Structure 1
């Protein structure tokens, strides 16, 4: 935004965790990009031209059914990268990537990322550990959607989003949240109302402010802790940098 400093690449925790020599080598390959709310970075089945390293934005990975219905399978923010299929041996992905919280990030051409990955250095090891953590998030999301209440799912979604943002505020309509969670809007309205009456959040006109995070963490199901613990275990350098 006008008047605000441009986010630097190292505001992405993966990029910051790189050794200085590796970071300096790839820095000229990084292109600063705006990531507006609702923007689709790639469609399911589409050819991936870039990988994205968010800095101040959050992106949802969605699986879209033939009917057009969708559900979120993971969120990626300043802790990670979008486009893991490029360095995992594929050129396309079955998911859609949509910006759920507007902001900025950096992108890198796919051929350059693959060259860097094939160096078998720090970047490769960091990306592989991140991929394992992301798979854990996807797996736990599937379990959560099957076994836990909409209220617990909403708490998980809020906490995962907050972990990837610098403040306690999110701009997101109930309709978009319902699409992310793959549930009816009425269910989100009821769950958000319960959290608001309990003093955990304040919700108005697409703006959500978390008022009591400790209480939110007590209400959330075990899925949030499983995902966070795995990220901290697999990416200890990032955890140390951002405590």
Structure 2
């Protein structure tokens, strides 16, 4: 399989690496699960389109979103350091597609200690920074700042400024009550930075949204560049 690829990792691999991975295209509808807590990770997926969410799950069935991933990333890498089962839930927030490789092939390529390993480790580091920043943000910043940050991070990974999120989705993403999200989203709408319907949000004024957001957005964004 030859490029060009949109994925930030795939387009940096040489043709021999691409051939060894035996990539196949996979469609990724919204809510599709790529990693499930306690289950084996059978494949890695390089996103070409769409937005994925990484969440930590609790025994009561709830969860907290800790990171987002898009075309800059690869999903399923928890299998490469040797974890036999996934510690997190990873699923598609925004539908898209990608290229998948079987975990044994990825593991063999990772063990070659070349560019593949370097880029996978950099990707994992970026996810770690995002998760750590999310934890800090949740303890220090307002719901309005946190919502603005997540909208910006989602927009960075979605070429369309229209985001297919309901208020329930937003509440889950930032760990807030739905009623609180409704109030905050209404305020952002009155400020003219977004508009929304029942299940769609459109960013109207990105610079304005960046001013409302906290410093955590720039920290995560700059680390990905």
TM-score (norm 1): 0.87
1:3 alignment counterpart: none
Shift of 1:54: 1.2
The alignment status of 1:117 with 2:117, answered yes or no, reads: no
1:108 alignment counterpart: 101
Query: In the alignment, which of 71, 85, 98 is matched to residue 78 of structure 1?
Result: 71
Query: In the alignment, which of 181, 198, 212 is matched to residue 219 of structure 1?
Result: 212
Give aligned pairs, total: 223
Matches of residues 36-185 of structure 1 in structure 2 within 5 Å? 36-185=29-178
Moved segments of 4+, more than 4 Å: none
**Separation in structure 1 between the aligned mates of residue 135 and residue 148 of structure 2, nearest angstrom:** 15
**Separation in structure 2 between the aligned mates of residue 42 and residue 22 of structure 1, nearest angstrom:** 24
Shift of 1:17: 2.4
1:197-220 CA-to-partner distances (Å, cap 9, x unmatched) read 111111012111111101111111
The alignment status of 1:13 with 2:8, answered yes or no, reads: yes
Judge conservation of contact 1:19–1:122 (CA < 8 Å) in 2: no
**Separation in structure 1 between the aligned mates of residue 84 and residue 185 of structure 2, nearest angstrom:** 39
1:140-160 CA-to-partner distances (Å, cap 9, x unmatched) read 011111111111111111111
Corresponding residue SS for 1:13: coil
Shift of 1:9: 6.8
Gapped regions of structure 1 (runs ≥ 5) = 1-7, 233-243
Judge conservation of contact 1:35–1:99 (CA < 8 Å) in 2: yes
Gapped regions of structure 2 (runs ≥ 5) = none
Shift of 1:14: 1.3
1:236 alignment counterpart: none
Shift of 1:20: 4.5
Judge conservation of contact 1:177–1:188 (CA < 8 Å) in 2: yes
Shift of 1:23: 3.4
Corresponding residue SS for 1:134: helix
Matches of residues 20-35 of structure 1 in structure 2 within 5 Å? 20-26=15-21, 29-35=22-28
Q: CA RMSD in A?
A: 1.4
